[in-house]
Amino acid sequence: MAISTWPFLLLIPAFIVIHLFVSPYTKVEESFNIQATHDILIHGIPGSNADQFLTANYDHISFPGSVPRTFAGALILSGLSRPLVGLLNNAAHVQLLVRGVLGLCNAFSLVAFGRSVQKAFGTTAGIWYALFQASQFHVIYYASRTLPNMFAFVFSNFALRALLNAHTVSYSREDVNRRLRLCLYLFTIAGIVFRSELAILVGTITLYLLVTQRVSMIKVIIPAGVGGLMIGLLCTVPIDSFLWQSFPLWPEWIAFYYNTIQGHSADWGVSPWHFYFFNALPRLLLNPATYLLCIPVAVLNAATRSRSLSLLIPLLSFVALYSFLPHKEWRFIIYVIPGLTGVASAGASWLWTRRSKSAIYALLSLSLLLSVLASFAASTTLLALSSLNYPGGAALDALHSIPTHQNHVHVYADNLACQTGVTRFLEQHSAPQTILDVLEADEALQARVWTYDKTEDPTMLLDPLFWTKFDYVLAERPEKIIGSWDVVHVVYGFGGVRVLKPGQESGVVLEEVGGAESMQAGGHWTDRVAGAWKALEGVLREKLLRGHWVEVKMEPRIRILHNLMK
């Protein structure tokens, strides 16, 4: 009986959802899109007096960032999420919904590409693709995160699917041209709207297709380029010009000009040319067997060589060319990972189907299975550790669980808190104009008004009168907060790992905090992860590892301060 790939492919959306719930908060890189989605979903699109409406209700007016970003992704997310909002209990759940919608869109695109891998290389390859992809940490973890790259990721996966399909079966020339046009259309639109670096990938794919004489400039490249450019501009310029109140505005061009032409991307750090090949790609693929064994096998095997090279050459050429830019981050090249994973699955399939022919094939097949299990274990560990990097979100959640008898609570969140999880979705809504009022079931909570402040002006932060209006402050460094304050809760975050030798004690020194309020705010995710790791130490360290251990260090990140004068 033939084995279906679906149970394996469904691991991809399942693990994306698991990662979402284990690590529900966001970071500063995701903040524009998550805040924009909130503002569109909650306040709607302004009609008349747009400038006043946006100033009063939209986060990007107060915190515009170094360059404008497109609202296109936020509009799509808010539109897809709105019908389900009424099914949820509170605004924090809506944030999970919004991220879940994006995650499932990426999951759908990954599964669709996996089906093309199955068509191109066989059912066994489709299964290996699903196993490799589901056990990769970064793709699964970030699939639901509102980075501009992850909006573009949906398009790039469907574009790679079209590219692979064009080389899979003996289609007519017109069918091949149609698939190649679709590939270039999708990459071009994603580059125009979301991430300009995809222009390099469009170039490497186009050049490869021209060199291999598979395409026509007239029938494929020019229509796809012009059509993709026009569609992309129509999707971004009118929307963003209106919401940014600047006419005309093409955000991705401004970002490209600022970061690349003016060279400001280097302000965020410079990495050597080989960073992507020797650091980013191994981390993204995670499983060493994929790039050390399976991809070489797929290229050396005559049956899979042509289709493998049709993906490898343009994808790796893109990485090589992009490596000349000084500032590098793994998310800039994440678009190549499904394609490389698909090629690796072809090599794994070839080895697996020959496991009964010799001891070497049997050994290599066993090593592949073990490598997948090890990747799942590593990915799970990385998930647990990464979930500890959002003390701002955990602190705001803890603050809302502290009992208070005040009807109006003023809260200040400092820079670290805002960068590590504080979003408008996590704020307690009580204003009657927001649609989330219906989600607040607690009448006492509805009667309480919460006001939040994220002021960054250093002059105001040095004014003692500025601090007198706040009841609570989320602060990384309490000594910088002027006035009389009491630490009522400490939120810990990931502080690295330390290898312990036999006899060395593990554990962190917990800060003593005052007030009964702190007892009510405890028991959050960071505490549970730290407790689970401590329990695991008790089981494994002495019995299995002979006193050796890897300690997960937890350090104080955010203190919740209560104003003693109120």
Closest CA to 412 of 462, 486, 469: 469
CA distance 365 to 342: 17
Question: 449-473 burial by CB neighbour count: b if 16+ within 10 A, else e?
Answer: ebebebeeeeeeeeeeebbeebbbb
pLDDT in tens, 136-186: 999 999 999 999 999 999 999 999 999 999 988 777 888 899 999 999 999
pLDDT of residue 66: 85
pLDDT of residue 441: 45
pLDDT in tens, 20-64: 999 999 999 999 999 999 999 999 999 888 999 999 999 999 888
CA distance 14 to 49: 44
Q: For the ranges 410-414, 495-499, 515-519, which has the lowest average pLDDT? A: 515-519
Q: Terminus-to-terminus CA distance in the chain, angstroms?
A: 72
pLDDT band at 1, cuts 50/70/90? very low
> Please, are residues 375 and 287 in contact by the beta-carbon 8 Å criterion?
yes
pLDDT in tens, 236-251: 999 999 999 999 999 9
CA distance 488 to 506: 26
> Please, are residues 109 and 164 in contact by the beta-carbon 8 Å criterion?
no
Question: DSSP labels for 311-354?
Answer: HHHHHHHHHHHHTTSS---GGGGGGGHHHHHHHHHHHHHHHHTT
> Please, are residues 453 and 427 in contact by the beta-carbon 8 Å criterion?
no
Phi-psi label, residue 204: left if phi above 0, alpha if psi -120 to 50, beta otherwise: alpha
More confident residue, 509 or 421: 421
Structure tokens at 205: 């794919």
> Please, are residues 318 and 368 in contact by the beta-carbon 8 Å criterion?
no
Angle ∠(305,308,312) on CA atoms, nearest 5: 125
Count of positions (residues) in the chain: 566
Question: For the chain, which residues make up each domain, given as ranges?
Answer: 5-388, 391-563
Q: In Å, how far are 55, 56, 152, 238, 243 from 51, measured between CA atoms?
A: 6, 9, 29, 15, 9
Does the pLDDT value for residue 434 go beyond 60?
no
CA distance 235 to 237: 6
pLDDT in tens, 509-563: 555 555 444 434 445 666 677 777 778 878 888 888 888 888 888 889 999 999 9
Mean pLDDT of the chain: 90
pLDDT of residue 449: 86
pLDDT of residue 499: 87
Is the four-CA dihedral 436, 437, 438, 439 of positive or negative sign?
A: positive
Q: Which residues pair with 412 in a beta bridge?
A: 453, 473
Does the pLDDT value for residue 465 go beyond 90?
yes
Q: In Å, how far are 38, 371, 429, 440 from 424, measured between CA atoms?
A: 7, 41, 9, 15
pLDDT of residue 565: 87
pLDDT band at 130, cuts 50/70/90? very high
For range 464-477, the mean pLDDT = 95
> Please, are residues 105 and 17 in contact by the beta-carbon 8 Å criterion?
no
Percent of the chain predicted with pLDDT > 90: 74
For range 127-142, the mean pLDDT = 98
Which uninterrupted H or E stretch holds 487? Answer: strand 485-500
CA distance 47 to 79: 17
pLDDT in tens, 310-344: 999 999 999 999 999 999 999 999 999 999 999 99
Q: In Å, how far are 32, 33, 240, 473 from 75, measured between CA atoms?
A: 12, 9, 11, 32
pLDDT band at 431, cuts 50/70/90? very low
20 in helix, strand or coil? helix
pLDDT in tens, 382-402: 999 999 999 999 999 999 988
Omega within 30 of 0 (cis) for the link into 248: yes
pLDDT of residue 554: 84
* Parallel, antiparallel or unpaired: strands 549-563 and 485-500: antiparallel
For range 202-225, the mean pLDDT = 91
pTM: 0.93
More confident residue, 518 or 12: 12
> Please, are residues 164 and 113 in contact by the beta-carbon 8 Å criterion?
yes
Does the pLDDT value for residue 432 go beyond 50?
no
262 in helix, strand or coil? coil
Q: Phi, psi (5° rounding) for residue 25?
A: -90, 175
CA distance 489 to 516: 10
